[in-house]
Amino acid sequence: MTAAATLERHPGKGDSVVARVLRRSRRLLAFGVLLALLGVVVPDSGQLPARFALIKLDEVHGVDAADHTVWILALGSDARPGEAFLGSRSDAIQLVGINAKNHHAVTIGVPRDSYVDIPGHGRNKINAAMTVGGPQATAQAVANLIGIRPDYVFVTSFKGMINMVGGINGIRVKVTWGVTDQGQTFRPGISKLSGVEALAFSRIRHGLPRGDFDRSYDQGQVLKGGLATVKSKMVRKGFLERALERFARYTDTNLNPIELYRLAQTVLQVNPKLVRTCVLNGSVGYAGSASVVFPNVAAARALARDVRHDATVNHGC
């Protein structure tokens, strides 16, 4: 039925129909301007100080997945000033599944000291994979361990995370264990964290009951809190367009502007209340003189079978 026909049959609703059409037209126009802007910005992003990288891996379906589920490997680089953030160790490793149809998501934390096979480089801590083969090597190591291959890899630097959280005026995060470390004190409960605080919270492991495992859990909570904060701001006119423009300025990516926009829309389909935070289990031991985590591969594969096609945890994690 056309808008005119609707006006004839429901005259009292005429203003709302016209308003909706006009709002949609304005959004499409704004999106067109955004694409034009990103088309200029993205190719030149390498000239700016990159704080993020977003890589679509080869031979993946991404947002076109038939089961509506997209997998993103989120990595926090341990790069120090002057070091290449795509060639340093991964301080955080989170495999994130997103289902745009049922609005569920799951974060699977991989303890950074997990001792695994790194393709072509023997056995080592999984956080070393990026130093020998970049984000792609880390993605392959995670896929071999869990049994789910990521569609995308997102990498942030320390400075990138601080600015990302600061750019949305902080995030609200659930703190499970009270601890003081990294020059910060965190108490149990819901806390609003600044960029500096969110980075410190994501890196703490000393004082946590299960060390590396609990740190991975906290990192998942940061992702969940960040999503909830962004979702709450989506009611603001132009928020997504401004966020994408700023993101593109500081991001090296092989996604075109339309792919970037579609991926952002997919992520924003998630209901933060339906995000499940999981961590791969294992045992702590030694490989030579190095303290490592021996992951429970059978449990990791069981979790993968549960969540692979719908990003929904049905049997616990």
Tell me the residue type at 274: L
Q: Which residues of the chain have pLDDT under 70?
A: 1-50, 59-62, 64-66
| Tokens found for residue 222 | 């940061």
**SS3 annotation, the chain:** CCHHHHHHHCHHHHHHHHHHHHHHHHHHHHHHHHHHHHHHHHHHHHHCCCCEEEEECCCCCHHHCCCCEEEEEEEEECCCCCCCCCCCCEEEEEEEEEECCCCCEEEEECCCCEEEECCCCCEEEHHHHHHHHHHHHHHHHHHHHHCCCCCEEEEECHHHHHHHHHHCCCEEEEECCCEEECCEEECCEEEEECHHHHHHHHHCCCCCCCCHHHHHHHHHHHHHHHHHHHHHHCCCCCHHHHHHHHHHHCEEECCCHHHHHHHHHHHCCCCHHHEEEEECCEEEEEECCEEEEEECHHHHHHHHHHHCCCCCCCCCC
Q: Distance between CA atoms of 126 and 90, rounded to whole angstroms?
A: 8
Q: What is the pLDDT of residues 179-233, one digit of tens each?
A: 998 889 999 999 999 999 999 999 999 899 999 999 999 999 999 999 999 999 8
pLDDT of residue 244: 81
Report the percentage of the chain scoring pLDDT > 90. Answer: 69
pLDDT of residue 34: 40
pTM: 0.84
Q: What is the pLDDT of residues 113-142, one digit of tens each?
A: 999 999 999 999 999 999 999 999 999 999
pLDDT of residue 37: 38
pLDDT of residue 39: 36
CB 50 within 8 A of CB 250: yes
Residue 210: exposure state from Cβ atoms within 10 A (0-12, 13-18, ≥19): middle
pLDDT of residue 16: 55
pLDDT of residue 210: 95
Spatial neighbors of 234 by CB under 8 A, at least 6 apart, are 240, 268
Spatial neighbors of 49 by CB under 8 A, at least 6 apart, are 250
In angstroms, what CA-CA distances link 198 with 22, 49, 218? 40, 21, 10
pLDDT of residue 152: 97
Q: Which residue is listed with tokens 């990138």?
A: 160
Q: Which residue is listed with tokens 């605080």?
A: 197
pLDDT of residue 29: 41
